[in-house]
Structure 1
Amino acid sequence: MAVKRFEDLLVWQKSQDFAVVIYNDFKILKDYSFKDQISRASVSISNNIAEGFDRRTNPNFIRFLYIVISSTSEVRSMLYLADRLNYLESENAKKRIEKSNEISRMLYGLIQSMK
């Protein structure tokens, strides 16, 4: 059965959960530019999945999914930096990095299934 709504995509659901975790991790951080950047990048993951899905063509959706992969990489890079700057405990940073890798793998799998 074909997916009819972006809300039914597991990768979108996981991306929404991921953004909530990122927001909560950094909500009291005083480095406002860092917090703003990682928050915006994490939100753009699920938003671009939704926007690309509703373009209604595979080539457009795939283009958006590659943008999503870039946003996921941006968040992952910032998580490494958050660990080095002690903005996040190392164990939590590792868990978030693994979650971002999981989302990236799901995105690549979705792209391959659409080609």
Structure 2
Amino acid sequence: MPTVNQFEDLQAWQKARTLSKAIHQATRDKAFQDDYDLRRQIRRAGGSVMDNIAEGFGRGSRGDFVQFLGIARGSLTEVKSQLYRSLDNGCFDRLVFDELYTQASEVGRMIDGLLLYLNNSSNKGRRYSKGAEKTDDER
């Protein structure tokens, strides 16, 4: 896997961002106006996936990244459950459900791939590199 210097270069983050945007679009429909709590929760969980990928990467250590990818995976599973609730409550149709569920599954495979890579890597992360440039937070 090539060296990634910023979280925006991670394909898993890019796909999670696309999923978050698609969820936001799908929940603009009038059907969600009547279920504010579900709309808010599925949007937050969708955003949490991309945010935790970014935060884990930003921590600069393999262990932290693995931990935050696990949290992102949990949020993604929450999104999938909420997709079922949205379908069952008539907030969107099967076509929208299938598209969002497929996107969520793709993000999950990407997170799993990152986890596999990190768990088999001997690289401890940026934080432990010789001559690593310290971020403003680490100074």
TM-score normalized with structure 1 length = 0.97
- In structure 2, what is the equivalent of residue 11 of structure 1? 12
Within the candidate set 87, 95, 102, 2:99 is matched to 95
- Bigger mean CA deviation after superposition, 22-31 or 60-69: 22-31
2:16 partner amino acid: S
Q: CA deviation at 1:41?
A: 0.4
Distance 1:109 1:15 in 2: 14
Other structure's SS at 1:4 match: coil
Higher-Rg structure is 2
Q: Which amino acid aligns with 2:103?
A: K
Q: Which amino acid aligns with 1:10?
A: Q
> Number of aligned pairs?
115
Q: Which has the higher helix share?
A: 1
Mapped pair 1:74 → 2:75: no
Residue 40 of structure 1, aligned match among 19, 39, 44: 44
Bigger drift between 93-102 and 60-69 goes to 93-102
Q: Equivalent residue for 1:23?
A: 24
Q: CA RMSD in A?
A: 0.8
TM-score by length of 2: 0.80
Q: 1:17-60 deviations in whole A, cap 9, x for unaligned?
A: 11111011012421110100000000011111111001000010
Q: How does 1:47-66 map to 2 (within 5 A)?
A: 47-66=51-70
- What is the CA deviation profile of residues 77-110 of structure 1, one whole-angstrom value per residue up to 9, with x for unaligned ones? 0001111111011111011111111111110110
Moved over 2 A (4+): none
Identity of matched residues, %: 33
